[in-house]
Structure 1
């Protein structure tokens, strides 16, 4: 069995493509969009813009993303420390916000996004 840090890139890309298709489908889109959003951010080191689908919970002006298999992913590391800007696709529009990532003592990672007003 592959370790968390070695998920094949082809599998991850294929999975993300399926999620994006479901999210934009006429039949399933509304249901999927309640639980999956698109995070768009600029990499701290590369300066490139990236977008990735993530599961989320929303409460008023805050969005919480529980990062699954965090050691196999790198995107959330852009938001360690003081965090940084990103946008989330919510309610049919891109909403800017400020994200901060934290890893707890059990290794779980949560990214908390304060949406801009």
Structure 2
């Protein structure tokens, strides 16, 4: 199910590109990477691999990704129910994990990733 239109999709791509550039910046990168990471996952229906920037909090082997505006985003839906595999870039390396998305009573969505290996 598509949300928005071509202008929205172009704006999102532009925003994501800017965030990725900030993460790579020599000046701002270290500060940005403490709160913004890249996740890679495979779409349940499409089978395509996606890599997107997301905000996160990490405690040990648990990473929590708060999904802002979940009604306008689809990526987190790949992790409903039993969840699924995901890769999170941390400290310059891709770390595999298992992600589960949950919506609370206020409609907020959080994706919790348990890192493995």
TMscore range, shorter length = over 0.9
Give the whole-Å Cα distance in 2 for the aligned partners of 1:47 and 1:87: 15
The 1-side partners of 2:47 and 2:12 are apart by 22
Question: What residue is the counterpart of 1:28 in the other structure?
Answer: 28
Give the Cα–Cα distance (whole angstroms) in 2 for the partners of residues 57 and 32 of structure 1: 12
Moved over 4 A (4+): none
**TM-score for the superposition, normalised by structure 2:** 0.94
Structure 1 residue runs without a partner (length 5+)? none
Counterpart-to-counterpart distance in 1, 2:86 and 2:65: 13
Alignment of structure 1 residues 1-117 onto 2, 5 Å: 5-6=3-4, 8-117=8-117
Unmatched 5+ stretches in structure 2 = none
In 2, Cα distance between equivalents of 1:38 and 1:71: 21
Distance in 2 of aligned mates of 1:17 and 1:66: 20
The whole-number CA distance in structure 2 between the counterparts of 1:22 and 1:65 is 19
CA positional deviation for 1:6: 2.9
Q: For this pair of structures, how many residues does the alignment match?
A: 113
TM superposition score normalised by structure 1: 0.94
